Amino acid sequence: MAGDIAIIGYAQSPSWRAAELTEAQFLFPVITEAIERAGIGRRDLGFTCAGSCDYLSGQTFSFVMNLEAVGAWPPISESHVEMDGAWALYEAWVRLQHGDIDTALAFGSGKSSPGVPAEIFPLQMDPYTITPLGADPVSLAALQARALLDAGKITEREMAEVVARSRKSAIGNPYAQVTGDHDVDALLAEPYLTAPLRRHDLPPISDGASALVLATADKAKEVCERPVWIRGIDHRIEVHQPGMRDLTTSASTRLAGEKAGVGRAPVDVAELSATFSHQEKVLCEALGLGDKVDVNPSGGALAANPVMAVGLSRVVEASRQIADHGKHRAVAHATSGQCLQQNLVAVLEGD
């Protein structure tokens, strides 16, 4: 049985369309802030785990450079996942269960700006059957949105409403990249980019990073006034071929949510990695989140989408809701792959 682990520090960078700094450069202040907020020393960290992607930065071993931002001297116990930082958080959470160390750092970072996502992300698909078709994220998401519309599970107006709410919420978020007060009818009057998606149904292209400091229960109580407890965390993957999945639901999110215990008590707030507007409804349904849940008060991925950090940033934002805004129970969600192929769900609670 897993023991409770707490989030005792967190930080994120602003989301930039094209950061002038290198990944390591903008990671450094983020990691420093997370550690300072945790009230521990950099040398106290028992374990560090990073999430990043070589293909995004166009640089093999890009995570090696990011070690500079951690300050791996003297040497540290450390690992890296080629996944969103939320999975680095998962590995750190597992590592802390041992009890031989009491704190761990998890971070995620990515620079999408050096490349063209529509050219890079097809390389994430099956290299024999799908990559040669040039299936880019927007086209695949459009197929998913079309399936939802055809099934009567969503309307274009509902999609526009998600966009309007997300961008409005993001006005108060200093880390957001896309903000604004939009009229839903005006959004619906916009032309299609890739039908049935309009440009505003897409996330921005972003550079950015986020970091979390975790602690065992005893350590958290010692150093932190308002620890945020990870009550459950789980992640699941499903079949890769989009044609073999029911794109109008998310079976892996549902399963991860059940394993993480989302339904055990009412949820106040959810931060979901819905990178396209229509995905928010799919995720809410899979997680059983009703109308009373405040979804993406940060503006979510539609307001800031630093790939490889955006999932971990959901955990950061959910933690902020508990630590700073008095919410009690939050759900954070991260995703990987296209059309929600792989999903991670964490349930967070205040004291």
Partner 1 sequence: MSSEPCAIIGIGQTKYKKKRDDVSLPGLVREAAQRALDDAELTWTDIDAVVLGKAPDPFEGVMMPELSMADALGANGKPLMRVHTAGSVGGSTAIVASHLVEMGIHDRVLAVAYEKQAEGNAQWGLASGKSGGMGAGGIFAPWMRTYINRSGAPEDIGWKVAVKDRQNACKNPYAHLQLKDISIEKVKESPMLWEPVHFLESCPSSDGACAMVLTNEKGAKRASKPPAWVLASAMRSELGQFPGRDPVRPVAGVECAHMLYDAAGITNPRKQIDVAEIYVPFSWYEPMWLEGHDIAGPGEGWKMTDSGATQITGDFPVNASGGVLSSNPIGASGMIRFAEAALQVRGEAGEHQVEGATVGLGHAYGGAAQYFAMWIVGSSLDAVSAKK
Contacts with partner 1 by CB under 8 A lie at 1-3, 53-55, 58-61, 63-64, 67-68, 72-83, 87, 90-91, 94-100, 120-121, 123-128, 130-131, 216, 234-241, 251-252, 255, 336-337, 341-342
Nearer Cβ to partner 1 (238/280): 238
Give the Cα-Cα-Cα angle 209, 140, 316 (nearest 5 degrees): 25
Read off the DSSP letter of residue 16.
B
SS3 55: helix
What is the nearest approach in angstroms of partner 1 to the Cβ of residue 78? 4
What is the nearest approach in angstroms of partner 1 to the Cβ of residue 219? 12
Nearer Cβ to partner 1 (48/194): 48
Give the Cβ contact number of residue 243 at 10 Å. 9
Nearer Cβ to partner 1 (100/324): 100
Residue holding tokens 């500079």? 68
Nearer Cβ to partner 1 (27/187): 27
Closest to 277 in 3D by CA, of 173, 172, 154, 170:
154
Cα–Cα distance for residue pair 280/348, rounded to 1 Å: 19
Chain mean position to CA 9: 17
Nearer Cβ to partner 1 (298/338): 338
What is the nearest approach in angstroms of partner 1 to the Cβ of residue 305? 17
Nearer Cβ to partner 1 (91/317): 91
What is the nearest approach in angstroms of partner 1 to the Cβ of residue 178? 25
What token pair was written down for 343?
A: 């999903």
Q: Which positions ≥6 away from 96 have C-beta within 8 Å?
A: 5, 46, 47, 102, 103, 104, 214, 215, 216
Cα–Cα distance for residue pair 289/257, rounded to 1 Å: 10
What is the nearest approach in angstroms of partner 1 to the Cβ of residue 239? 5
Nearer Cβ to partner 1 (258/317): 258
ω before 174 within 30° of 0 (cis)? no
CB 187 within 8 A of CB 302: no
What is the nearest approach in angstroms of partner 1 to the Cβ of residue 2? 7
Give the Cβ contact number of residue 166 at 10 Å. 28
Closest to 182 in 3D by CA, of 205, 166, 197:
166
Kind plus residue range of the DSSP H or E element containing 277: none
Cα–Cα separations (whole angstroms), residue 99 to 39, 94, 154? 20, 10, 46
What is the nearest approach in angstroms of partner 1 to the Cβ of residue 284? 21
Nearer Cβ to partner 1 (107/175): 107
CB 237 within 8 A of CB 335: no
Read off the DSSP letter of residue 191.
P
What is the nearest approach in angstroms of partner 1 to the Cβ of residue 281? 22
Please say whether the dihedral angle defined by the alpha carbons of residues 242, 245, 247 and 250, taken in this order, is positive or negative.
Answer: negative
Nearer Cβ to partner 1 (126/351): 126
What is the nearest approach in angstroms of partner 1 to the Cβ of residue 119? 11
